[in-house]
Amino acid sequence: MKAGNSVLTSYGTTIFEVMSRLAAEHGAVNLGQGFPEGLEPPALLAAAARAVAEGPHQYPSMMGIPALRRAVADHARRFYGLEIDPMREVMVTSGATEALADCLFGLIEPGDEVVLIEPLYDSYLPIVRRAGGVPKLVRLEPPNWELPRDALAAAFGPRTKLLVMNTPMNPTGKVFGVDELDFIADLLVRHDAYAVCDEVYEHLIYDGKRHVPLIARPRMRERALRIGSAGKTFSLTSWKIGYVTAAPELLLPVAKAHQYITFTTPTSLQQAVAEGLGSGDGYYRGLADGLAARRDRLAAGLRGIGFDVLPCAGSYFLIADIRSVGFNGDDAEFCRRLTVEAGVAAVPVSAFYKDEGVRHFARFCFAKKDEAIDEAIRRMAKHFKPGRA
């Protein structure tokens, strides 16, 4: 039999699926895969139910229903002061995952170089490679995950087509500073390159910090493509509603990818998300405050067990040093054993690296109900400190 595509078949099953399956098999509390619990806004559920009952049920415009495109543009003005033309500069996709693929397939020409920042989200590299891009990887180093400016500048060259970046960042919890964004902007201008900006965690940002999209920085309006996700903003990860915002000439090739991959996204869910984006400030503040409290609850519990926990300014994730509880093996083995033996699932941070990366961190998702967090801590305390639990 002839083989499937060599790039895609070279990858295993995604770590999120692997850990969730293992968690289910062993009845573990799942702090692995990044999805929230108990935060679904009732108004959006009602809006979606209404939209399903009332229709329409046929293909909407491939760019998304006008109400959602307008809502995305209004949201960009309200939070970031951006003036976006909803009909020419917004496209609705089936999740940020599709939006990322559309951007990469739509922009990359085989042989183009693509700058990526490790640790990185798992879909970036396979899609860049499948699109024919040549990855140029730059690493952030723990514990501060600062942008290595010299290495980043060295990764850019005459063949650089684009950079993929993610802020707030999974799995590090880093929020890029304005000075870092402006440094990136300079490189993009100097090398005539674009930035695909994965901003799915834009509203999951804590301690009074504010999200700054690269597209809102000087000279970036024509170079940055901004990706958001209702999965994260409304705690509805199964809905798979994403949106891309970019200047019309940039969005055009991206829309070509979308039209041949999914073409459209369910109308009823688009209608509900359009309503959701117009939620009052209380909704957005409540989301961030509630998640910050969950972060603090999990961090305190992990520290109580003896874990060194890195700071987290945004996203759903805390990173803990597995050496601090006396584990000297690698992170994948740690997470497997934690799931099977302690009954708590986490994700190894090495899964976010192309090659041999950092191997002593586990990522814990804190977007879970208090009861789940407390139960996970109780189980881990029993596992790591059996005499004291």
Q: Which of 41, 95, 119, 348 is the binder for ligand PMP (CB under 6 A)?
A: 95
Q: How far apart are CA 341 and CA 75, in angstroms?
A: 45
Does 93 sit near ligand GLN (CB under 6 A)? no
- Looking at the DSSP bridge assignments, the partners of residue 136 are 115
Q: How far apart are CA 283 and CA 15, in angstroms?
A: 32
Q: Which of 20, 170, 233, 245 is the binder for ligand PMP (CB under 6 A)?
A: 170
Q: How far apart are CA 120 and CA 118, in angstroms?
A: 5
Rounded to 5°, angle at Cα 256 from 250 and 262 = 125
Q: How far apart are CA 238 and CA 204, in angstroms?
A: 18
Which residue's Cβ has the minimum distance to ligand PMP? 95
Minimum CB separation of residue 170 from ligand GLN in Å reads 5
Does 33 sit near ligand GLN (CB under 6 A)? yes
Q: Which of 89, 180, 198, 331 is the binder for ligand PMP (CB under 6 A)?
A: 198
The answer to whether the Cα torsion of 351, 353, 359, 360 is positive or negative is negative
Chosen from ligand PMP, ligand GLN, none, partner binding at 166 (C-beta under 5 to 8 Å by type) = ligand PMP
CB 305 within 8 A of CB 384: yes
Does 170 sit near ligand GLN (CB under 6 A)? yes
Give the number of other Cβ atoms within 10 Å of residue 150's Cβ.
Answer: 8
CB 313 within 8 A of CB 288: no
Chosen from ligand PMP, ligand GLN, none, partner binding at 236 (C-beta under 5 to 8 Å by type) = none
User: Residue 220 or 349: which CB sits closer to ligand GLN?
Assistant: 349
Binders in 229-288 for ligand PMP, by CB under 6 A: 229, 231, 237, 240, 242
Residues that bind ligand GLN (CB under 6 A): 14, 16, 33-34, 170
Residues that bind ligand PMP (CB under 6 A): 34, 95-97, 121, 166, 170, 198, 200, 229, 231, 237, 240, 242
